[in-house]
Amino acid sequence: MLAQLAGLLVVLTLGLLSPGPDFLLVVKNSLGTTRARALGTVAGIAAGLAVQMLVISVGFAAAPARVLRGVQFGGATFLAWVGWRALRAAPDGPAPDRTEDGRAGARTGFVEGLLCNLTNPKAFLFFVSLFAQVLRPGVGVAAVWRIILPAAVVAHGTVAWTLVSLAVQSPPVERRIERAQHWLPRAFGGILIALAALIAWEAWSGGPR
């Protein structure tokens, strides 16, 4: 089973290299904001992953297509809202989040990270298909591995997103980002809105496949 766990972590890492809503949100909330908000976002995504793992582990992996489509529309709306806020950010000077209260920033980041993760049905389907290859019916798997594998997914996501956030906020990267601070948040806002439009179109044309 150790080989399957290693393979699972490799696939998860490769998935991380294909930026999706979670990646874009972590980067956006690490640009010109407090570390509390950035790490709050990571904690929210980790909590979302934990909920997904719980749902999968208790056997609710086959949700009706219309439910997934509704979740997909909800996710598109949320991403569009976050992107619109980024587009309306002040063009000059530090973002207001620089001076926000640490607890308030962490709460805001947590809620955004949680909603972003939970309203991404493609991530849920990805985990379902991944676990179907490891925990196949009829194949004996020790009960402890049914706990270790979901826990490994949550731990991997927490560590990976934390590293991404810390890298974006590291002094060398931050100095380079500050030079482009007047347009970079808008660029991410535009990307998020485009991603929201794509997700909404996929939902409208038949939902996740």
Domain borders along the chain are 22-204
What pLDDT is stored for residue 183 in this prediction?
65
Name which residue leads in pLDDT, 156 or 129. Answer: 156
As a residue count, the chain comes to 209
Q: Which tokens belong to 200?
A: 């909404």
**Amino acid code (one letter) for 64:** P
What pLDDT is stored for residue 138 in this prediction?
47
158: pLDDT strictly greater than 90: yes
Closest CA to 108 of 97, 99, 120, 118: 97
Confidence of residue 95 (pLDDT cuts 50, 70, 90): very low
119 contacts: CB under 8 Å, gap ≥ 6: 71, 72, 74, 75, 78
139: pLDDT strictly greater than 50: no
What pLDDT is stored for residue 45 in this prediction?
94
What pLDDT is stored for residue 18 in this prediction?
67
**Amino acid code (one letter) for 201:** W
What pLDDT is stored for residue 33 in this prediction?
77
Average the pLDDT over 22-42 and give the result.
87
What pLDDT is stored for residue 135 in this prediction?
57
The model's pTM is 0.71
Share above pLDDT 90 across residues of the chain, in percent, rounded to a whole number: 17
What pLDDT is stored for residue 189 in this prediction?
76
C-alpha to C-alpha distance for 95 and 112, rounded to whole angstroms: 17
201: pLDDT strictly greater than 60: yes
SS3 20: coil
